[in-house]
A and B are shown apart, each in its own frame.
Chain A
């Protein structure tokens, strides 16, 4: 299982990560953060493959990626 963590206060809602995500699980949330942007969110985190493409393209360093060790269980 892998997961991504969005730092909502850093996100500017540019949606570059959503465009790029291979499993298309990133969408815009209705919440507006303190910068005035609608941050992104992931509703089906169990589909995340942990490829870290979203974190690499994010211009605002708003994404952290966690990957579990192989065979390490949940």
Chain B
């Protein structure tokens, strides 16, 4: 097991010691979802993993999937997801999340199985696994967090790094001639046969976060309804490795990432069929 996260972060009791009971005449309109543990996360300030975790946890609560959900963790900053989501978890080797998830889902088809992967994990070393799992139409949901950089290992170039973006392995900026163009995963996945839903959303603003939750819900629904493979790409920030403040990082998503990675739904079987939703 990994070193106990509690040894590097204050324990749950600290955060929970504050009284959250509403005063008379008041209602608590925003609270932490139950599926999200109150453990403090190891993420940097402004990291969108926290937002993504919360959206997933809210949906697990709302869709009442918590008791039968199994998350396949990946390698990257989100490797500690089993500490943050209060559900069963399996840790896959780097990039092998969809392969491990296939095994879990086929062994226990009654369970709700999803992977949570970053762009280094999914789009680079795990490209073969994601492509084949999607093409086979496994009844899985994939949460793909794209922050255009390898976060945990110190900011190396990923397949999704934008042209001109400086990282530790391309200090002069990514060059189209040398390293090729950034991979647009949501479009590629949408073109595969077994895919029921593929979308790209962003976590940079309140409006986009609301849209992100809707897309994630749909990606979870295609699995619970047994339709096929659900995929959501979440554009997110990595202020530390982008050498930016969290506010600047959110602006970069808006001004640089979204123009190259357009937001939208690229495939939805519900709208392909005669009736829509």
Chain A contacts to B: CB under 8 angstroms: 3, 5, 7, 9-10, 12-16, 19-20, 34-35, 37, 50, 52-53, 55-61, 63-69, 72-74
Contact = CB atoms under 8 A, between A and B. Distances in A.
Interface in B116-159: none
Nearest to A18: B247
A59 B57 CA distance: 13
Contacts of A65: 28-30
Interface string B20-59: 1011011111111000100011011111111100100000
Main secondary structure of the interface of A (DSSP, over half): loop
Contacts of A12: 44-46
Contacts of B50: 58-61
Nearest to A12: B45
Contacts of A73: 25
A51 to B, nearest CB: 9
Which 7 pairs across A and B sit closest by C-beta, in order of nearness? Answer: A59-B50, A14-B46, A12-B45, A14-B45, A14-B246, A65-B30, A55-B30
Contacts of A61: 32, 36, 50, 54
A58 B28 CA distance: 16
B102 interface: no
A59 B43 contact: yes
5 contacts: A53-B206, A61-B32, A65-B28, A66-B26, A68-B25
B200 to A, nearest CB: 19
Given A53-B206, A59-B46, A60-B50, A9 B29 contact: no
Contacts of B181: none
Contacts of B26: 3, 66-69
Interface residues of B, number: 38
Contacts of B9: 35
Contacts, number: 95
B209 A56 contact: yes
Nearest to A3: B26
Contacts of B22: 66
A47 B25 CA distance: 18
Contacts of A5: 18, 20
Nearest to A37: B45
B54 A16 contact: no
A15 B239 CA distance: 12
Contacts of B23: 66
A49 to B, nearest CB: 12
B68 to A, nearest CB: 24
B40 A59 contact: no
A60 B250 CA distance: 16
B206 A60 contact: no
B171 to A, nearest CB: 26
A59 B47 contact: yes
Given A5-B18, A15-B247, A60-B43, 18 more contacts: A3-B26, A7-B15, A7-B18, A10-B15, A12-B44, A19-B250, A20-B206, A34-B10, A34-B14, A56-B209, A58-B50, A59-B54, A65-B30, A66-B26, A69-B25, A69-B27, A73-B25, A74-B25
Nearest to B209: A56
